[in-house]
Amino acid sequence: MAYTTIDDPSKHFDTVTYSGTGSSRTISYDFEVDFFWCKMRNDVYHHSIFDSSRGANTRSRANENRAEEAAANTVSFGNSSGVTLGTDDSSYGVNQQLNDSSAQTTYVAWAWKANGGSRTTNAEVGNNPAGGYQANTTAGFSIVDYTGTGAAGTMAHGLGAVPSLIMVKNRDVADAWAVYHSANTAAPETDYLVLNELDATADDATYWNDTAPTSSVFTVTTAHNVNADGEKYMAYCFAEIQGYSKFGSYTGNGDADGTFVYTGFRPKYVMWKRSNDSGGWTIWDDARDSDNEMDKYFYANTSSSEYSGESLRVDFLSNGFKHRSTNTWGNGSDDTYIYIAFAEQPFVTSGGVPCTAR
């Protein structure tokens, strides 16, 4: 069996930095973007999430529980070489230019490929919600939309593999994000995390019905955050692909010679969260900071500008990442963390050839 099926991760996921211009233009990727998450780096603005299932100019905020909103002239899809940004004339923090002409507004955007906006649909059957999905089975990513039933039911995700990560948001009202992570606890289907909050893991059967996802469906039940009757939801689902993505957990050691986390690839992107106690959803990528020790990061649960300094530091290595600070939000002694990682390059190619680390 090949070590990986994806020798070039940038065909499915990539990180791009850019400057705001206030003019419509393309942000280039090596694929047609379906899931676009962007953040202004040098000012306080929300984490903005767009996807091709909902279509152009429809935004959710990763750092808030707010319902989705119409965001005119921001992001549109269907561009074979990336994604199209609009003029952002209403200042949604996607492509605006700061009024101070001496300061250039800078952004980072993380993007994933699904299925070019083409959805497979399904009708409501019993308590199983109606909706649809578009899936990239090669890279283990799907975008799911559904209308809740208010009772325990299942929703198809189209991955053909068991999801390791599911992030759900109520589109209609101000419900918090609900997150399932397969390495969260010994029985992750009994628990949930909240993307827009610092909260530790909580145990609640009303989210996933204490039922683990399968290779075809995930289960939602009565929690308003995931399945209120007649309300609309989005779910972003990820299955682990060897050499391309990793969804795991680690234990901190509280030492500046910190915990090493094996992923099997050089990371391009890592997000972690302390799960046994409060802590921010900390985002790192090698587009903003390519030299070890890296010290530029965001918290997905806040609108704060990019952090930089000695508080948190990490190395991206050829086969994983290593902590270089003692901060309890990344490497607290005996604390437990869940993480999400995507590859810059696999440690070994599909042909069995070791990759050369940068």
pLDDT tens string 49-86: 999 999 999 999 999 999 999 999 999 999 999 999 99
Residue found under tokens 């999801």 = 163
Taking every pair of C-alpha atoms in the chain, what is the biggest distance, in angstroms?
Answer: 59
Handedness of CA 196, 257, 250, 138 (dihedral sign): positive
DSSP letter at 10 equals: G
pLDDT of residue 357: 46
pTM of the model as a whole: 0.96
Of the candidates 327, 289, 325, 292, which has an alpha carbon nearest to the alpha carbon of residue 308?
289
**Residue pair 112/269 in contact by the 8 Å Cβ criterion:** no
- Rounded-to-integer distance, Cα 319 and Cα 355, Å: 10
Q: Residues 284-308: pLDDT tens digits?
A: 999 999 999 999 999 999 999 999 9
Please report the beta strands in 63-189, taking only residues with DSSP state E, as ranges in sequence order: 69-70, 75-76, 82-85, 106-112, 120-122, 130-136, 141-147, 153-156, 165-170, 178-181
Q: Residues 229-260: pLDDT tens digits?
A: 999 999 999 999 999 999 999 999 999 999 99
- Rounded-to-integer distance, Cα 104 and Cα 96, Å: 10
**Residue pair 209/151 in contact by the 8 Å Cβ criterion:** no
Q: Residues 25-36: pLDDT tens digits?
A: 999 999 999 999
User: Which amino acid is it at 91?
Assistant: S
**Residue pair 233/153 in contact by the 8 Å Cβ criterion:** no
- Rounded-to-integer distance, Cα 298 and Cα 106, Å: 14
| pLDDT grade for 349, boundaries at 50, 70 and 90 | low
- Rounded-to-integer distance, Cα 198 and Cα 216, Å: 31
